[in-house]
Chains A and B, each alone.
Chain A
């Protein structure tokens, strides 16, 4: 069976290559995890959560980085796993209980990483060919991935340190040849080191040649897809599921009125907005809302799926609206949509947003009344919040 393993061996596959790829992938996974956790905390905030409303583009940037590093980790993960593939075929498959546990943890790590990046990518274009809920599974799998990553580094740290740089690797190989290294590693290390160092462009390709090609490939994938998140790359956007400046009023739509089943209720001429604080309750028609002081701000709408779009919004300040029913300054609000149920049906607005100057009940987008798909007659737009919380087709705002 070891002959099978050897058949997959190549002078390119070496511990040094794996360590370099592992560094790149670990960095991508860590950034992806941190930005994903930030997005999760904004959507399901714990009591201690600090809400930042400036800069307005903060969430667009962190979520754009989240989706982009997720995309970048697809080539990096493929290369990393390719570099260690012969390990899978090592014989005997199980040497001891500890060895079995380590292999099981690696299998979990590999499977979780593959599924995590795959479902993350598919979610960016709202394709769900599976039987589980995306949000929960993506979140909990992220903990599996980051936990397995830490465990994997803990197990492999001596090897990682020995192959961290070429100089260290050469030193290790030197001592290995002197006969003090672990048995079984000596010959392999000695051979791969010289192969990698001595043949910069030998038969097939060298480590640096491979790494350069992988960096180029990852760069091409990122550059042709990140234009959905970062407008300075919009011109190169060939393969992203989203395009900037498209859709009704030049702004993409996450969920249409037809999908939400609200078209009829939203177009009803008898629509009124209910504003409530305790026992005090008021209703406003669209004309009455339009007669209140209007403010206009340029704010991005940034979706958890990674796309974002700057736009000019005009409407009533939420702060002013709540003052009409005597709501306290630190009021937390519940916003209800005409859409019933689901994650879009209602949202909660902490005081950091409800008190912000730029948080609007928007009636206009880019100089015209809101399109039905953008939440006509009225929607929430607040600085630095995930798009899923920018509730559309609002019919009630109340203090909780």
Chain B
């Protein structure tokens, strides 16, 4: 009589989790099928090959270059900031992360300015696109970030020193 209890609950009542997973799985598969149909009907084969190259390159660049680099940077940072207080380490890491993210998004704009304007091979006369001085703005952004982080790290050190001194004073008879 113990056997039915041991069996997987294939015939038992299916829980909410099962139904949610089934619905998500079915709609996901349907959406993927619709996408495959759309690509085959609406996008010429030559363009599909171009897209496949971009998809492959995205995986190689992301998984092969970007992530290993960030891991290396993270490891190096642990050594560089060894001995700093946890809050100071956080300030250094957070500033670098913010700067790196801004650079990641701004880099294509800077590159596009070089390629598209003012005299690039694909140059267009539309001067209401890419109007900003993105390279300069990014430089200033990093400068402000570094200064702000340095001030914050120093402030944490100063507060820590002050707290230690005042606690020392209190313990004196």
Q: Residues of A with Cβ closer than 8 Å to B?
A: 8, 10, 71, 74-75, 78, 81-82, 85, 88, 107-108, 110-112, 114-115, 118-119, 121-122, 125-127, 129-133, 136-137, 139-141, 143-144, 146-155, 157-158, 161, 201-205, 209, 212-214, 216-218, 220-221, 224-225, 237-243, 246-247, 252-256, 258-259
Contacts of A201 in B (CB 8 A): 86-87, 89-90
Within 8 A of A (CB), among B94-116: 94, 97-98, 100-102, 104-106, 108-109, 112, 115-116
CB distance from A273 to the nearest CB of B (A): 26
Contacts of B66 in A (CB 8 A): 78
Q: How many residue pairs, one in A and one in B, have C-beta atoms under 8 Å apart?
A: 224
* Contacting pair A131 B47 (CB below 8 A): yes
* Contacting pair B106 A239 (CB below 8 A): yes
Chain B positions 42 through 86: 1 when the CB is less than 8 Å from some CB of chain A, otherwise 0 = 110011101100111011001100110011001001100000001
CB distance from B48 to the nearest CB of A (A): 8
* Contacting pair A85 B67 (CB below 8 A): yes
* Contacting pair B17 A217 (CB below 8 A): no
* Contacting pair B20 A75 (CB below 8 A): no
Main secondary structure of the interface of A (DSSP, over half): helix
Main secondary structure of the interface of B (DSSP, over half): helix
* Contacting pair A202 B86 (CB below 8 A): yes
* Contacting pair B141 A204 (CB below 8 A): no
* Contacting pair A121 B108 (CB below 8 A): yes
Contacts of B143 in A (CB 8 A): none
CB distance from B31 to the nearest CB of A (A): 3
Q: Within the complex, which residue of B21, B58, B94, B141 is in contact with A213, where a contact is CB–CB below 8 Å? A: B94
* Contacting pair A147 B126 (CB below 8 A): no
The CA-CA distance from A370 to B119 in the complex, in Å, is 28
* Contacting pair A217 B97 (CB below 8 A): yes
Q: Report the nearest B residue to A76, measured CB to CB.
A: B101
CB distance from B3 to the nearest CB of A (A): 20
* Contacting pair A88 B63 (CB below 8 A): yes
Size bracket, chain B contacts = 35 or more
Contacts of A74 in B (CB 8 A): 101, 104-105
Contacts of B35 in A (CB 8 A): 140-141, 143-144, 147
The CA-CA distance from A253 to B131 in the complex, in Å, is 12
* Contacting pair A143 B17 (CB below 8 A): no
* Contacting pair B62 A81 (CB below 8 A): yes
* Contacting pair B43 A136 (CB below 8 A): yes
CB distance from B9 to the nearest CB of A (A): 14
The CA-CA distance from A147 to B28 in the complex, in Å, is 4
Q: Within the complex, which residue of A130, A204, A213 is in contact with B50, where a contact is CB–CB below 8 Å? A: A130
The CA-CA distance from A71 to B102 in the complex, in Å, is 11
Q: Does B8 contact A (CB under 8 A)?
A: no
* Contacting pair A114 B62 (CB below 8 A): yes
The CA-CA distance from A150 to B97 in the complex, in Å, is 29
Contacts of B127 in A (CB 8 A): 247
* Contacting pair B98 A213 (CB below 8 A): yes
The CA-CA distance from A140 to B100 in the complex, in Å, is 30
Contacts of B20 in A (CB 8 A): 154, 157
Using known A-B contacts A157-B20, A217-B98, A225-B105, determine if residue A151 contacts B43 with beta carbons closer than 8 Å. no
Contacts of B25 in A (CB 8 A): 150-151, 154-155
The CA-CA distance from A212 to B124 in the complex, in Å, is 41
CB distance from A381 to the nearest CB of B (A): 18
Contacts of A158 in B (CB 8 A): 17
CB distance from B102 to the nearest CB of A (A): 6
* Contacting pair A140 B67 (CB below 8 A): no
